[in-house]
Structure 1
Amino acid sequence: MARSRVCNMFMDATFSHLLLLLLLLFLLAVSDVNGVASHSIIKSLPGFPGNLPFKLETGYVGVGEVEEIQFFYYFIESETNPEDDPLVLWLTGGPGCSAFSGLVYEIGPLLFDYANSNWNSPTLTLNEYSWTKIANIIFLDSPVGTGFSYATTLQAYNTSDTLSVAANYDFLRKWLLAHPKYLKNPLYIAGDSYAGIIVPVLVQEIANGNEVGLKPSMNLKGYMLGNPGTTLHDDYNSRIEFSRGMALISEKLYQSAKRNCKGEFINIDTSNKLCVNDMEVIQECLKKIKHPHILEPWCEHIYSPSPKRLKWYQRSPITEDSLDILSSVSQPPNNNQLKGCRDYNYIYSYTWANDQNVQNALHVRKGSINQWKRCNKNLSYIKDVPSSFDYHRNLIDKHYRSLIYSGDHDMLIPHVGTHAWIEALNLTIAADWKPWFIDGQIGGYTMQYSNEKYQLTFATVKGAGHTAPEYKPKECLAMIERWFSDYPL
Structure 2
Amino acid sequence: MLGTIWQIYYFLTLLLGLVFHMQIKQQICIHLVTRKQLKMHIFFLSIGLKDFLNISIENSTLLEKVMQVILYMITGHYVPQLAQLVYRRNKGINNPDINFKGFMVGNAVTDDYHDYVGTFEYWWTHGLISDSTYRMLRIACDFGSSQHPSVQCMQALRVAVVEQGNIDPYSIYTPPCNDTASLRSGLRGRYPWMSRAYDPCTERHSSVYFNLPEVQKALHANVTGVSYEWKTCSDIVGNYWTDSPLSMLPIYRELINASLRIWVYSGDTDAVVPLTATRYSIDALKLPTIINWYPWNDNGKVGGWSQVYKGLTLVTVRGAGHEVPLHRPRQAFILFRSFLENKAMPSSS
Q: TM-score range by the shorter chain?
A: 0.7 to 0.9
Matched ranges for 1:280-429 at <5 A = 282=160, 284-299=162-177, 301=178, 335-336=181-182, 342-355=199-212, 362=218, 364=220, 367=223, 373=230, 375=232, 377=234, 378-379=236-237, 381-429=241-289
Q: RMSD across aligned C-alpha pairs, in angstroms? A: 4.0
What number of residue pairs does the alignment pair up? 308
- Alpha-carbon distance change, 282 to 346 in structure 1, aligned in 2, over 3 angstroms: closer
Residue pair 2:307, 2:314 contacting (<8 A) in 1 also = yes
Shift of 1:201: 1.3
Residue 481, structure 1, aligned to residue 337, structure 2: yes
2:191 is matched with none
Shift of 1:407: 0.6
Shift of 1:207: 1.1
- Alpha-carbon distance change, 137 to 437 in structure 1, aligned in 2, over 3 angstroms: farther
Matched ranges for 1:52-201 at <5 A = 79-80=2-3, 82=4, 132=6, 138-140=12-14, 142=16, 160-176=33-49, 178=51, 180-183=55-58, 184=60, 185-186=64-65, 187-188=67-68, 189-193=70-74, 195-201=75-81
1:224 is matched with 104
- Alpha-carbon distance change, 342 to 222 in structure 1, aligned in 2, over 3 angstroms: same
- Alpha-carbon distance change, 290 to 145 in structure 1, aligned in 2, over 3 angstroms: closer
- Alpha-carbon distance change, 180 to 213 in structure 1, aligned in 2, over 3 angstroms: farther
CA distance in 2, matches of 1:403, 1:437: 18
TM-score normalised to structure 2 length: 0.72
TM-score normalised to structure 1 length: 0.53
CA distance in 2, matches of 1:368, 1:468: 35
Partner deviation per Cα, 1:128-151 (whole Å, 9 max, x = no partner): xxxx1896751135575979xxxx
Partner deviation per Cα, 1:376-402 (whole Å, 9 max, x = no partner): 625475443332111001111112111
> Which gives a bigger RCO, structure 1 or 2 (Cα 8 Å, sep 6+)?
2
Shift of 1:238: 1.9
Residue pair 1:403, 1:458 contacting (<8 A) in 2 also = yes
Residue pair 1:261, 1:268 contacting (<8 A) in 2 also = no
Secondary structure of residue in 2 paired with 1:196: coil
Matched ranges for 1:217-296 at <5 A = 217-249=97-129, 261=139, 264=142, 282=160, 284-296=162-174
Residue pair 2:141, 2:150 contacting (<8 A) in 1 also = no
1:203 is matched with 83
Identical aligned pairs, as a percentage? 23
What amino acid sits opposite 2:336 in the alignment? I
1:22 is matched with none
Partner deviation per Cα, 1:158-189 (whole Å, 9 max, x = no partner): x8532222222222223256455234423124
1:88 is matched with none
Bigger Cα displacement from structure 2, 436-445 vs 420-429:
420-429
- Alpha-carbon distance change, 368 to 438 in structure 1, aligned in 2, over 3 angstroms: farther
2:193 is matched with none
Residue pair 2:119, 2:274 contacting (<8 A) in 1 also = yes
Stretches of structure 2 lacking an aligned partner (at least 5 in a row):
22-31, 188-197
CA distance in 2, matches of 1:200, 1:169: 13
Stretches of structure 1 lacking an aligned partner (at least 5 in a row):
1-77, 86-131, 148-158, 302-332
- Alpha-carbon distance change, 353 to 249 in structure 1, aligned in 2, over 3 angstroms: closer
Residue 471, structure 1, aligned to residue 331, structure 2: no
CA distance in 2, matches of 1:247, 1:366: 43
- Alpha-carbon distance change, 245 to 177 in structure 1, aligned in 2, over 3 angstroms: same
Secondary structure of residue in 2 paired with 1:139: helix
Partner deviation per Cα, 1:302-332 (whole Å, 9 max, x = no partner): xxxxxxxxxxxxxxxxxxxxxxxxxxxxxxx
Residue pair 1:160, 1:382 contacting (<8 A) in 2 also = no
What amino acid sits opposite 2:169 in the alignment? H
Residue pair 1:192, 1:228 contacting (<8 A) in 2 also = no
What amino acid sits opposite 2:181 in the alignment? N
- Alpha-carbon distance change, 265 to 144 in structure 1, aligned in 2, over 3 angstroms: closer
